[in-house]
Structure formats: C-alpha cells, structure tokens
Chain A
Amino acid sequence: AQSVTQLGSHVSVSEGALVLLRCNYSSSVPPYLFWYVQYPNQGLQLLLKYTTGATLVKGINGFEAEFKKSETSFHLTKPSAHMSDAAEYFCAVSTGSNYKLTFGKGTLLTVNP
C-alpha cells in the first residue's frame, strides 16, 4: 500500500521568497514520486518526477525536489517565488509495477506582491 501526506493545505509566500511545499510518502517498495501543478480551471500538469538515479530532480518553471529515502520525503522548492506560481500543487506516489498514482490532498500556494 502507498500513501501521501502533504503538510499544509495552504502556503502563502511573498514574491521573491523561497517556496517550500512538503510531501511525505509511505511505500513498501521503492517509490516513483511526482509533483503536479494545477492552475485555476485547468487540468493537472507534471512539474517533475523521480523514478531512479539522482535524488535531486529539476522540473519546469525553476522548481526542484529532493528524494530523501531516510525521511520518506519529496519536498518541492523554488528559490524565488513569482506571482505566476500561484496555483495548487499535488504530490503523488506510485511504484514501478503499479500504474495507479496515489495523490495527496494538495497545497494551495498564494504569492503576495
């Protein structure tokens, strides 16, 4: 079984500040991990993913995430927030043999001018 916990349903940052969105997972086998972004009235778009190899993963729009097995975490970061980053972000987990993703409940990111 696998599960995802996103800490904080709402995160608010100032423009130019660090963005940190937290995701912890549970999986009995090595996980595949994903971050998706959803802009208002749109579908989900993949930001980045971790499958194997390098634990620091870079995605689109300047976001990156680090897979930390010892902490069962896959936190999403961006050094400097932009107004256009305001959206809802979802963390998801799967395994190599499981074609179903388990999603967290999402974190709404607000960026203040």
Chain B
Amino acid sequence: DAGITQSPRHKVTETGTPVTLRCHQTENHRYMYWYRQDPGHGLRLIHYSYGVKDTDKGEVSDGYSVSRSKTEDFLLTLESATSSQTSVYFCAISEWTSAFEQYFGPGTRLTVT
C-alpha cells in the first residue's frame, strides 16, 4: 500500500471555525490532490499540487485553501467552516512514472454543526 496518511480521521467542528486537514506521504510523489466525496456527486477535486509551493484550484475550491511547504505534506484549510462542507475528504498522490495513477489515503470524515 502507498504510504499515505490523513489526520485527523474524524472531526466535528462548529460553523465558523477554521479547520486544517493534513495529508502526509512517504512515497516522494510530486503530485498531490484533495477531493471531497458526497452522495450523488462522486469525487470532486478541491485543490491540487504539482510541486512544493505549486498549487492550483479544482472544481470546488471556494471556501478552501491549501499549502504545500514540503514534498510530503499537503494541508487543506477550511477558512470558516460551513455545514455545506460536511463531507468525507480524501487525499491522493500520483507520479508520471505510473501514468498518473492516483493512490488514495483513508479519508477524513468532517462534520460541521
């Protein structure tokens, strides 16, 4: 299994509070991604990174920011959490040597009350 961990695995927070989710990899892969998964919507890309300090927006980036200060860590921040951001968040990594096949972390279940 690819070495990807996500923390925390579960979190309950209140509306309006900032939340940071962490993705950590031990594979030295260049590309990292944050998705959210909601019933009926499948996986939707929030943000992605193509190198240290190089990030870009995905299709559902409003209300989220990311940072990548080193290869192994990719942080997702909800600047002011809302109930619509209640979801399961997945991190993934890839590398061109494997045709950009993505390896997924175990997910973080976030509930915003």
Contact = CB atoms under 8 A, between A and B. Distances in A.
B63 interface: no
Contacts of B42: 90, 103-106
Nearest to A95: B100
Q: Could you say which of B33, B90, B102 has the most chain A C-beta atoms within 10 Å of its C-beta?
A: B102
A52 to B, nearest CB: 9
A43 B96 contact: no
A59 B33 CA distance: 24
Nearest to A106: B42
Given A94-B100, A99-B31, A100-B33, 20 more contacts: A32-B99, A32-B100, A43-B90, A43-B104, A43-B105, A46-B101, A46-B102, A46-B103, A49-B99, A49-B101, A98-B100, A99-B48, A99-B50, A100-B48, A100-B58, A100-B100, A103-B43, A104-B42, A105-B40, A105-B42
B106 A99 contact: no
B101 to A, nearest CB: 6
A46 B42 CA distance: 16
Contacts of A94: 99-100
A79 interface: no
**Listed residue (A51, A92, A100) with the most chain B CB atoms within 10 angstroms of its CB:** A100
A16 interface: no
